[in-house]
A and B are shown apart, each in its own frame.
Chain A
Amino acid sequence: MGAESSPKIVIVDESPIRAAILEEGLREAGFTGVVHISEMQSLLERIYALDPDVILIDLENPSRDVLEQMFQVSRAVRRPIAMFVDQSDAASIQASVDAGVSAYIVDGLKKERIKPILDLCISRFNAFSKLQNELDRAKSALEDRKVIDRAKGILMRLKGLTEDEAYVLLRSMAMREKKKIAEIAQSILTASELLK
């Protein structure tokens, strides 16, 4: 492809949500040739068939080692691929590893054209993990509430308390034991399982 047209970018990611977030960001920034690969079987063949200029892969993906094979000169490889980073780009590697993504760039693509792609990639990956953390927190808060509700129910039944009184009891126990209310609630559930 010509050096000035939009580079062809392949995203290798088993997370469809994260890939979609990244793909959207790249398109908004004017990178039109974006393809997402989510199936890891015959990964190299797929990549060779697409013939990309840039490959982005998440670091949780064991298939990263498969991509390293592209550096090797062998019969199957049409052109060698080098990671975009050179000796001067340690900070870029740091930022991308922190974000959980790695980039492979076909030799010949100019460094200044790669930088915006990588920056965007890093910011989208960071945004995704923030989202993921929030989601995890929300999930665990919901789980906690379920556990607390069930423990309250047990206390109400066994000790003839109102809901508010059951909650106050849980909270004071948690303060005394220096534990979270959900942990106290969980131990009540466990104990009641045992005593069934």
Chain B
Amino acid sequence: MTISLHVGFIPLVDAAALIVAVDKGFAAAEGLEVTLVREVSWSNIRDKLNIGLFDAAHLLAPVAIASSLGLGHIKVPIVAPFNLGLNGNAITVSPALHATIMGEIEGDPFDPMATALALARIVATRQRSGAEPLTFGMTFPFSTHNYQLRYWMAAAGIDPDEDVRLVVLPPPYMVDSLANGQVDAFCVGAPWNSIAVDRGVGHILHFVSDILTRAAEKVLAVRQSWSEKNPDVLAALIRAAFRATEFIDEPGNRAEVARLLAQPERIGVDADVIRRTLDGRLKISPDGTIRESDRYLLVGREGAARPDPMQVAWLYAQMVRWGQASFSPQALQIAKAVFRPDLYDAVLGLEGNSRDRASNVMGTFAGPVFDADDIAGYLASLQMARRPS
């Protein structure tokens, strides 16, 4: 018997596991007839998942937490039994800001502390001269992009709410906004950073893996109530996504994966641009400079697909740090329950298998070591934090 599912996604490379699961027939092999629905906003994805128009969705990990906690919108408990990708974002700056940072920097330009300190000096100079604050684009209030930008800046003493402007921009508008000077920089997922570089309007300053070595980015999200009513369907979906990540990780399949993702009704950009992301081999400057990193985007590799409770606790701590949520042990429990490694392990027969377990480190470039069991202590040890209002 075939089960028909509607799954929402945003055209980004980290939707790869879902797109490949459907377009390579892994979903069909599990008896699922999946209709992928391309959406234009995370708000739409969240709402359509919440009210049941979607059975599952490609979702920002922090939105899954916010929805479960009822932050910013109605409260609908969401569970995430599968990570679609870790990392994958980059910080891209305008040629003018890039030149200014390179003029200020002391040390390695790939060292986020060196760039953050340079940025702090630039911000201070601008404040003294009465210039407008620098504007940084990001994709959503509850997004890793938001927290990654903030984490990076705050490490050098920049207050992301006072010293610069952080604005939400839909990813397809990012490149134009950088070109016309509406923003000076942005943090966004693939392929938009590469598109800015190709158009000569941006330099990739950092891969976010410079800031955090493992950051849960997008998850396969379903309503908790749905997961309880449809355990077998969810298991089939997890297996299909898992097969897809194995396929994507095989270097010999990359060309085909890039071609599948490039289709107009999927991501709809050149396969070549997508290929760079999959290979972690990105052109970072309009002059053609290439930077390689095997950590740029992790799909399946290094146990990336297994939801890591440490990650979800870190994201919740960032929400508290920046005043989006108030801290309570109950809320932390709810947040932690969003990520379901138990479902992942049970479906894939990995119980008791420690090989896929995350290393239990966030790998942040600066700041106190994150302790998921002492978030209050962690927050108190940070130099900069908002009080929730």
Contacts and interface: CB of A to CB of B under 8 A. Distances in A.
Interface of A: 40-42, 44, 59-69, 71-76, 83, 85-87, 89-90, 93-94, 97, 102
A42 B139 CA distance: 15
Given A44-B167, A59-B40, A59-B44, 12 more contacts: A61-B41, A62-B170, A63-B170, A64-B41, A65-B42, A68-B141, A69-B168, A72-B141, A83-B74, A89-B74, A94-B51, A97-B53
Contacts of B70: 87
B165 interface: yes
B141 A64 contact: no
Contact of A73 (B40, B182, B389): B389
B43 A102 contact: yes
B162 A75 contact: yes
Contacts of B250: none
B47 interface: yes
A143 B313 CA distance: 57
A68 B40 contact: no
Nearest to A91: B51
Contacts of B157: none
B47 A62 contact: no
A65 B39 CA distance: 12
Nearest to B388: A73
14 contacts: A41-B182, A42-B182, A59-B41, A62-B172, A64-B41, A65-B43, A68-B42, A68-B140, A68-B168, A74-B161, A83-B74, A89-B74, A93-B47, A94-B51
Nearest to B40: A62
Interface of B: 40-44, 47-48, 50-51, 53, 70, 72-75, 139-141, 161-162, 165-170, 172-173, 182, 323-324, 389
Contacts, number: 77
B51 A65 contact: no
Nearest to A83: B73
Contacts of A94: 51
Contacts of B168: 65-66, 68-69
A71 B43 CA distance: 12
A73 B161 CA distance: 9
B375 to A, nearest CB: 20
B98 to A, nearest CB: 23
A66 to B, nearest CB: 5
Contacts of A83: 73-74
Nearest to B169: A66
A79 to B, nearest CB: 12
Given A65-B170, A68-B72, A73 B41 contact: no
Interface centre among A41, A59, A65, A76, by most chain B C-beta atoms within 10 angstroms, is A65
B324 A72 contact: yes
Nearest to A45: B167
Contacts of A85: 74
A90 B225 CA distance: 15
Contacts of B172: 62
A156 to B, nearest CB: 38
A182 to B, nearest CB: 23
Interface centre among B43, B47, B73, B75, by most chain A C-beta atoms within 10 angstroms, is B43
B74 to A, nearest CB: 6
Given A68-B140, A97-B51, A62 B73 contact: no
A85 B74 CA distance: 7
Contacts of A60: 40
B74 A93 contact: yes
A75 B161 contact: yes
Contacts of A90: 51, 74
B173 A76 contact: no
Contacts of A67: 43
Interface centre among B42, B44, B173, by most chain A C-beta atoms within 10 angstroms, is B44
Contacts of B162: 75
B44 A73 contact: no
Contact of A64 (B44, B173, B324): B44
A62 B141 contact: no
Nearest to B63: A68
